[in-house]
Structure 1
Amino acid sequence: MGDSQYSFSLTTFSPSGKLVQIEHALTAVGSGQTSLGIKAANGVIIATEKKLPSILVDESSMLTFAAITFRFCFPCSGVRPFGVSLLVAGFDDKGPQLYQVDPSGSYFSWKASAMGKNVSNAKTFLEKRYTDDMELDDAVHTAILTLKEGFEGQISEKNIEIGIIGNDRKFRVLTPSEIADYLEEVE
């Protein structure tokens, strides 16, 4: 018997010691759009590819970023954000923070992280470019260069999105014209 009979349970380990649904979810996340987060000295940026799954999808219905204005935590009693990997940016009493939550419910604090189909190359690139004293503008440039590393085709303000939370603690998504200005600077 294989692990397939254990594919329907979130909390039952297979004989080989695996949570099969978590493995399926991690595989799904690994084939998704490349997304990354970078913690700067004065804030956090999150950047992602913006790719519609079909030309028939209404672009206005696609939600890439969401501002969360309340405290939240995941309970530890077998409840997981199944099939979801999140980059969470914000501030606490220690300053800017970046967390990544994976489908198992595990979460870690990061200086910079990536997920999606180009995760290995993106993380390698971030390891080479990241510095602790990086400012938000440098983080945006680094994010664009990281996305360019694994991007299929020409990168433009139409196919990436960038969100920023700065020292003012207000989250905002860069406009296409702001992204175009950053793209000119990295050319």
Structure 2
Amino acid sequence: MAEAGAGGFSNRYPSFYGPEGRLVLVDSALEAVNRGSTTIGIKTPSFALLASHIKPARPLMEPTEKVFPVDSHVGATGSGYIGDILQLIDELRLEAQKHRLSFESPIDIGSLTKHLGGYLHNYTIYAVRPQAASVIIAGADQTGVHMYQVDPSGTYFRGAGFAIGQSADSALDVIQREYSADMTVEQAVQLGNKAIEKALGERSVVETGVVTAKEGKFRKL
């Protein structure tokens, strides 16, 4: 019985890891993210901005929402399979609500990100399909304005500029060249639109949201 169990595990093992030790299913999820909508995040000490390309919808269909309020002080956007993105947004909202009920205060952005990273990491441990979505989280808490990117593996990064989705490298190049820590929200909106248009090679419809240190509230523009 033990041999059969060991053999069963051994037979499944290659489905997790490739020849170079890479997680095959996570790599596939990242490929799905790279085919998604071009999505960017820009943060300065005074605000954080999220922007995502809205792909044209079929006739008589409304376009899909791309930037989402999570709690009053935090929002998120993502790229990849929209069903997976929506599930991750719901998970973020649920964790934020649990924190408010338990501690009667808004959750800090780092803890919220860490929770989502752990949630996604669990999909890499068991024989299930990882979530094919990367998420950018932006919010303000008692320590300031923060922005994180969380990948399908559960790995998360903190920074001032992110780009995910289709032609993300081109979009990130624009952000890196023109980013300024003292830019205004209006300038960041223009930079976000420019980065997305550069990545796609055409003028695009972009949905945008912002949270400022002064207001501490996330709102869609």
Q: CA offset at residue 56 of structure 1?
A: 5.3
Deviations along 1:68-118, whole A, 9 cap, x unmatched?
221431337941472110010001233111100011110010101101111
Output the CA distance in 2 between the equivalents of 1:77 and 1:28: 15
Q: Distance in 1 between matches of 2:120 and 2:134?
A: 19
* CA displacement at 1:142 relative to structure 2: 1.1
Alignment of 1:10-25 (within 5 A): 12-25=16-29
CA distance change for structure 1 residues 105 and 23 in 2, over 3 Å: closer, same or farther? Answer: same
Q: Deviations over 1:99-152 (max 9, x none)?
A: 000111100101011011111111111111112222322211211111221234
Give the CA RMSD over aligned residues: 2.5
Q: Residue 180 of structure 1 aligns with which residue?
A: none
Distance 2:201 2:18 in 1: 38
Which runs of 4 or more aligned residues in structure 1 lie more than 4 Å from their structure 2 counterparts after TM superposition?
A: 5-9
Change (3 A) 1:19 1:93: same
Counterpart Cα distance in 2 of 1:145 and 1:135: 15
Amino acid at match of 1:144: N
- Alignment TM-score, normalising by the size of structure 1: 0.76
Match of 1:178 in 2: none
2:129 counterpart of 1:129: no
Residue range with higher mean Cα deviation, 116-125 or 128-137: 128-137
- How many residue pairs are counted as aligned between the two chains? 163
Quote the residue 2:209 is aligned against: 163
Q: CA deviation at 1:16?
A: 3.0
CA distance in 1, matches of 2:174, 2:155: 24
Corresponding position: 1:41 with 2:45: yes
Give structure 1 stretches of 5+ with no counterpart.
175-187
- The equivalent of 1:64 in structure 2 is 66
TM-score, structure 2 as length reference: 0.65
Aligned to 2:58: 55
SS at match of 1:103: coil
CA distance in structure 2 between the aligned counterparts of 1:140 and 1:16, rounded to whole angstroms: 41
**Range with bigger deviation, 113-122 or 72-81:** 72-81
